[in-house]
Structure 1
Amino acid sequence: MSLNRRSFLSFTAIAATLSAAAACSGGTDAPETATADSTEAMASDDSVMRDPDADLVIWADEKKANSLREAAITWGKAQGITVAVQVVANELQSTFITANQAGNGPDVVLGAHDWIGNLVQNNSVSPVTLSEAAKSNIVEVGINAVTYDGQMYGVPYAVETLALFVNKGLTSVTAPTTIEELVAAGQAAGTEAVLSLPVGESGDAYHMQPLYTSGGGYLFGKNADGSLNPQDVGVGAEGSLASAAKIGELGTQGVLRTSITGDNAISLFTEGKAPYLVSGPWALADIVNAGIDYTVSQIPGFEGLNTARPFAGVNAFYVASKGKNAAFAQTFVTDVVKDTTITRAMFDLNQLPPVQKDLTEELKADYPDMVTFATLASEHADPMPSIPEMSEIWGPLGKAEANIVGGSDPATTMTSAGDEIKSAIAG
């Protein structure tokens, strides 16, 4: 699956390396230490290790580390401790798991919520506890995303989802209420493409999720306690077949195309070749720089069917199970959402839609698009499944959808994908 996501959410879950066995494999990418002296922390064998001179060590990718550094160091000074924020540029999740097991990992790591199932399976993170006041200030999708088997394992701070970008210079239908209305308006625009939505030859189940859910498709059923049931796979079930039929119709009409990928979807829109784009907040910079007169709205569903519900991806702070300073780690991650001091400082350096209600209100006047994405994620999206079995969904479902767009029989193609997924999960 081709994804060109300029956002904070790591898509490690999509790759086969999400499995516990692969995640336990050794990582050798050395973190660049994001402390004042910016020295590198390297062991003699070139493996990743924590900064030995800091009391509290935090690992993150480059953008998040750079946005967090100053606020974290300031927090540490108030506690009377030193804090190092280290950059792990590649394979952060698996690198963290390996280092944690070896006892030379960080105290805190920042990552996507869909890591949780894998992290818990590997006993890599500890549960966290937030005050009722802090929890009530976080939107429900944020709390749900970091909850696994009834326990909170992360502190959420930012969220992303997909939305519909509309070029107001190409169409007057700026908030279509159905896919059918969108298609009619897009065809009337007379542009090269009606809708720029990444499909690709290999599929893109992430970007196709709103259409899949609108047609009635689901990925996993739920147990009585609300947790996901990996034995109840929705791919191949009745709802997914209805979705497949609708997706096939859009392929026949040329609305969906395998030639539109994560590499060219945004540029098709910014070059005025499509009036509509399905993308996330990572597309904003390119759209603004292109001078497009645009608006952002909810992705519509099929007429008479379900609401389109894209994935919500939440980024969170995790406490390492074998960190050197567990007490300060727990204090730090809870202080992240105690108020907006740390999260606002991070936002100012790396703009991401917030999960805190008071920060969302604070940003409303100056950053309306970010607030729109935060609201859409809160009200119209579902957390990406964080159970390890989700890694078996991406490839078969995405490929099936691409094949259906390309003309394959919807029912048999989707049924075969479901059989492949179930076989893989059964092992």
Structure 2
Amino acid sequence: MEFNFKKAAFSALIATSVVSLAACGAGNKKADNTSESKELTVAVDKLYVDYMEGIKADFEKENGVTVNVKAVDQSDVLTNLPIDGPTGESPDVMMAPYDRVGGLGSEGHIAEVTIRNEDNFDDTVKNLVQLDGKTFAEPSVIETLVLYYNKDLVPNAPKTFADLEALQKNDAFKFESEAGKSTGFLANWTNFYYAYGLTAGYGGYAFGKDGTDASDVGVAAGDSLKALEYAKTWYDQWPQGMKDMTKAGSFASDQFIKGKVGALIDGPWVAASFKDAGVNYGAVKIPTLPNGKEYSPFAGGKAWVISNYSKNKEVAQKWLDYVTNDENQTAFYEKTQEVPANVNARKVASEKGTDITKAVIEQFDSSKPMPNIPQMAEVWEPSATMYFDVVSGSKTPDQASKDALKTIKDAIEQKYGN
């Protein structure tokens, strides 16, 4: 399934604007659980419908309920939850990207839950669904960025950024229409989701205290100005299309499909398009940075949540326990090829999986949990602009980072008062 980070990166921003309209009532809104229904509505992306239909029978029999599986646009369901919930139009159960969990939970739109299969999840995924000591979801899928490489053009998987620099100097990757430009290696670093691994590798971070302290903004912390400088050295060599903030991602993947790129940083959601195009690609963990540190992208994915407006919270909790157990998480992987959050099912996926599965699992171990506090909405755009301003040459790393920090902190102060 394509993750479509252009939508997800700003999903928290959209959610914040919506929930602010309903926040006064939402935080105190409690669903009436005195009359549990014999029906449970489970809303999922259309790609998951067949899987859900295939596993629901045993749950229905065991719990004496009917599970209605509804195909939806998951982002729309979450954005509309503050409005649809009070009117009874929202589903009982749905999936949510980890970066939406904290905001929806703190605003009172999704219910607290219990991870009853707790031993089957590592600390990273458990942290992704918790905020202020409360748990608002059960983990389902893990995702992170990896390195794709064209096996026909790059026989050996790059292990360091020095290897990527060597590709850039290879005449095979000259960009014909722009003299002096090359596509040996590409990365969409004017999108902060993609650039974060570079920033983190040089000591930067989104928020302090493992992403929970919004008063400590760290996009310019450590040696992260060196990350900006290093990014500029790449953009000086890349075609102009890489500087288009709205189309750079598509440009990079299109060039990879056309066989013009040696290696590319991207997510598991693009693998299907590469396969369909017949590209002979491999996927591995992202190479080591010039400073010897790990490239540390965000750890993300999706989790199961319960609407706080549901009248079926008790059976909904049982559904979360059921759908995240070893058997069903393994079946989920086999049906969708998405990497399960359940560590036992993840082990099966690692043993049976493709290059991309193994790469995601390996990369996830060195990834950083994406902050799930609402204030993360204020980080994306200024940080992306920070990178763009540097790589385009309009600002120095020092000035661009100072401007980004001011924009982020001012927005947080204005919207959240901290």
**Structure 1 length-normalised TM:** 0.83
Gaps of 5+ in 2: 23-35, 176-182
Contact 1:160 1:373 in 2 (8 A): no
Letter in 2 for 1:67: Y
Deviates more, 1:402-411 or 1:153-162: 402-411
The answer as to 2:186 corresponding to 1:196 is yes
Within 1, Cα distance between the matches of 2:154 and 2:214? 43
Give the Å deviation of 1:198: 2.1
The answer as to 2:237 corresponding to 1:241 is no
Which residue does 1:413 correspond to in 2? 400
The answer as to 2:391 corresponding to 1:401 is no
CA displacement 1:61-120 (0-9 Å, x = unmatched) = 322344323323442233221011222325221212322233442221211111122112
Within 2, Cα distance between the matches of 1:367 and 1:163? 15
Aligned to 1:190, the other structure's residue is in SS state: helix
1:135-174 correspondence runs (5 A): 135-174=118-157
Deviates more, 1:179-188 or 1:392-401: 179-188
CA displacement 1:349-372 (0-9 Å, x = unmatched) = 322111222222323444223531
Contact 2:11 2:100 in 1 (8 A): no
Which residue does 2:164 correspond to in 1? 182
Q: What's the Cα RMSD here?
A: 2.6
The answer as to 2:412 corresponding to 1:425 is yes
Letter in 1 for 2:95: L
Within 2, Cα distance between the matches of 1:152 and 1:166? 38
Give the Å deviation of 1:54: 6.0
Letter in 2 for 1:197: A
CA displacement 1:304-330 (0-9 Å, x = unmatched) = 253110111121111222211111011
Aligned match for 1:57, one of 23, 29, 41: 41
The answer as to 2:366 corresponding to 1:380 is yes
Deviates more, 1:300-309 or 1:319-328: 300-309
Which residue does 2:330 correspond to in 1? 344
Deviates more, 1:409-418 or 1:325-334: 409-418
1:32-111 correspondence runs (5 A): 55-89=39-73, 91-111=76-96
Contact 2:152 2:280 in 1 (8 A): yes
Contact 1:160 1:313 in 2 (8 A): yes
Within 1, Cα distance between the matches of 2:72 and 2:401? 38
Within 2, Cα distance between the matches of 1:8 and 1:241? 28
Give the Å deviation of 1:386: 0.7
Within 1, Cα distance between the matches of 2:6 and 2:78? 9
Letter in 2 for 1:63: L
Within 1, Cα distance between the matches of 2:277 and 2:207? 40
Contact 1:110 1:317 in 2 (8 A): yes
Distance 1:302 1:227, change over 3 A: closer
Which residue does 1:356 correspond to in 2? 342
Aligned to 1:125, the other structure's residue is in SS state: coil
The answer as to 2:108 corresponding to 1:118 is no
Distance 1:228 1:53, change over 3 A: closer
Distance 1:72 1:13, change over 3 A: farther
Within 2, Cα distance between the matches of 1:153 and 1:15? 18
Within 2, Cα distance between the matches of 1:269 and 1:309? 23
Deviates more, 1:67-76 or 1:382-391: 67-76
Deviates more, 1:371-380 or 1:252-261: 252-261
Which residue does 1:253 correspond to in 2? 237
CA displacement 1:175-195 (0-9 Å, x = unmatched) = 322x23311133225213122
Contact 1:355 1:374 in 2 (8 A): no
**Structure 2 length-normalised TM:** 0.85
Which residue does 1:22 correspond to in 2? 18
Within 2, Cα distance between the matches of 1:413 and 1:64? 42
Give the Å deviation of 1:381: 0.9
Aligned to 1:353, the other structure's residue is in SS state: coil
Distance 1:352 1:154, change over 3 A: same
Higher helix share: 2
Deviates more, 1:272-281 or 1:76-85: 76-85
Contact 1:206 1:311 in 2 (8 A): yes
Contact 1:194 1:255 in 2 (8 A): no
Aligned to 2:142, the other structure's residue is in SS state: strand
Letter in 1 for 2:132: D
Within 2, Cα distance between the matches of 1:232 and 1:88? 37
Give the Å deviation of 1:173: 4.0
Contact 1:100 1:320 in 2 (8 A): yes
Distance 1:171 1:9, change over 3 A: closer
Distance 1:111 1:308, change over 3 A: same
Deviates more, 1:297-306 or 1:265-274: 297-306
Distance 1:182 1:8, change over 3 A: closer
Aligned to 1:248, the other structure's residue is in SS state: helix
The answer as to 2:350 corresponding to 1:367 is no
Give the Å deviation of 1:18: 3.4
Aligned to 1:263, the other structure's residue is in SS state: helix
Letter in 2 for 1:407: G
